[in-house]
């Protein structure tokens, strides 16, 4: 690595630490002069070099017309500072909701941009670190809702890092931007890892369905009499009423509930266990099984359906993670 690259990385690291100290978690952000940074863009720096070259040319040849052009371009550069800063100044940004996703996926985060008066604010770029950038334009007064994709790289509460809001509008000579760190109540589920060894899950105890086992004492219902059925099982009352020949059916109670149990994955570390349990949850839901969850200190009763699946996955996502008080936006 060259000395220049090392200096550049050191400066970026120090700048990042300085930004982290200035940026706190918040539920709503008001962009004003205290929150906005503004510096010349690459095009703006090139523009200044051009103006300086024109000034040297005018000085060397004592050309008043070139002096006039030089000062006119410089005035344009100064005026662009005001208009570029105004593109973001006065905006209020608030998180509405965030999507719960599996680790490694991109979560859809819905944001609200509001302004008091109708005003055109163009070429506003939004992006989370490592996420896809989104360009938006604001025209109307009140709230405008936009959805930004945020990378989910760590299990637990969704924390995509700083949201960068920036613009170079209208002239492209200046770049104004702000860093925002929002709270999110959405969860990042463990990435599912297939595990065929525990695919069937552990069987629970309690009421379940009945299997037709011959010789059982639990009455289940009636079925059509077939040759070979025991005469002891003939429903004589129904036969005496002229309802035909029926045979009584008996069965054993079998519990079909599946328990996704932490102890079934002994010998693995925490993340390996959670990833395989997550895969088992998805399999049970896809096969319409009734399943429950057992974690150290947590037990969810067997059930099925989308709401139950989300509850189970959220327990897996937040296992061993301290809750974050004050999270404001709803997970979906």
Residue ranges of domains in the chain: 24-188, 210-254, 256-331
What residues contact 90, with CB distance under 8 A and at least 6 apart? 31, 32, 115, 116
DSSP assignment string, 245-304: -EEEEEEEEE---EEEEGGGGTTS-HHHHHHHHHHHHHHHHHTT--EEEEETTEEEEEE-
CA distances for 136 relative to 146, 147, 152, 179, angstroms: 8, 10, 23, 17
CA distances for 14 relative to 8, 9, 17, 20, 70, angstroms: 10, 9, 5, 10, 37
170: cis peptide before it, omega within 30°? Answer: yes
Cα–Cα dist 231/65, whole Å: 119
What residues contact 231, with CB distance under 8 A and at least 6 apart? none
Which residue's structure tokens are 């941009």?
113
pLDDT at 209 (0 to 100) = 44
Q: Which residues of the chain have pLDDT under 50?
A: 204-215, 325-332
Q: Which two tokens stand for residue 271?
A: 């993340």
The answer to whether 311 and 100 have CB atoms below 8 angstroms apart is no
- Helix, strand, coil: what percent of the chain each, to 5? 30, 35, 35
pLDDT at 219 (0 to 100) = 62
Residue 155 DSSP class: S
The answer to whether 310 and 278 have CB atoms below 8 angstroms apart is no
Residue 105 DSSP class: S
Q: Which two tokens stand for residue 225?
A: 């009499």
pLDDT at 25 (0 to 100) = 83
pLDDT at 23 (0 to 100) = 79
Element (H, E) at 145: strand 142-151
pLDDT at 319 (0 to 100) = 92
pLDDT at 257 (0 to 100) = 81
CA angle 107, 329, 144 (to 5 degrees): 80
Q: How many CB atoms lie within 10 A of CB 263?
A: 11
Cα–Cα dist 288/304, whole Å: 7
Report the DSSP pairing between strands 121-128 and 163-167: antiparallel
pLDDT at 206 (0 to 100) = 44
Residue 264 exposure: Cα atoms within 13 Å on the Cβ side: 20
> What confidence tens digit (pLDDT) does each residue in 232-262 have?
677 767 767 767 777 776 655 555 688 999 9
Cα–Cα dist 274/155, whole Å: 10
CA distances for 87 relative to 48, 111, 148, 174, 212, angstroms: 22, 18, 19, 11, 73
Residue 231 DSSP class: G
> What confidence tens digit (pLDDT) does each residue in 87-124 have?
999 999 999 999 999 999 999 999 999 999 998 999 99
């Amino acid at each position: 690595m060259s000395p220049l690259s090392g200096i550049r990385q050191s400066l970026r690291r120090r700048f990042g630490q300085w930004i982290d100290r200035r940026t706190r978690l918040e539920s709503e952000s008001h962009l004003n002069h205290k929150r906005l940074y503004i510096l010349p863009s690459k095009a703006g720096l090139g523009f200044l070099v051009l103006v300086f070259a024109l000034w040297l040319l005018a000085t060397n040849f004592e050309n008043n017309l070139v002096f006039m052009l030089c000062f006119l371009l410089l005035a344009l550069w100064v005026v662009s500072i005001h208009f570029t800063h105004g593109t973001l100044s006065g905006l209020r940004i608030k998180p509405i909701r965030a999507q719960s996703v599996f680790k490694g996926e991109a979560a859809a985060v819905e944001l609200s941009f509001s302004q008091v008066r109708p005003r055109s604010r163009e070429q506003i770029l939004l992006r989370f670190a490592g996420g896809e950038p989104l360009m938006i334009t604001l025209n109307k007064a009140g709230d405008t809702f936009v959805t930004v994709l945020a990378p989910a790289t760590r299990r637990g509460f969704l924390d995509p890092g700083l949201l960068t809001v920036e613009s170079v509008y209208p002239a492209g000579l200046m770049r104004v931007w702000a860093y925002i760190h929002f709270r999110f109540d959405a969860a990042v589920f463990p990435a599912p890892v297939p595990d065929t060894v525990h695919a069937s899950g552990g069987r629970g105890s309690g009421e379940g369905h009945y299997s037709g086992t011959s010789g059982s004492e639990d009455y289940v219902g009636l079925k059509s009499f077939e040759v070979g059925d025991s005469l002891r099982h003939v429903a004589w009352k129904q036969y005496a009423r002229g309802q035909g020949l029926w045979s009584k059916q008996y069965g054993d109670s079998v519990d079909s509930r599946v328990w996704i149990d932490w102890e079934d994955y002994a010998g693995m570390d925490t993340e390996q266990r959670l990833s395989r349990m997550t895969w088992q949850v998805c399999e049970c839901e896809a096969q319409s099984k009734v399943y429950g969850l057992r974690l150290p200190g947590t037990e969810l009763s067997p059930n099925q359906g989308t709401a139950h699946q989300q509850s189970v996955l959220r327990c897996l996502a937040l296992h061993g993670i301290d809750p974050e008080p004050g999270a404001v936006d709803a997970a979906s």
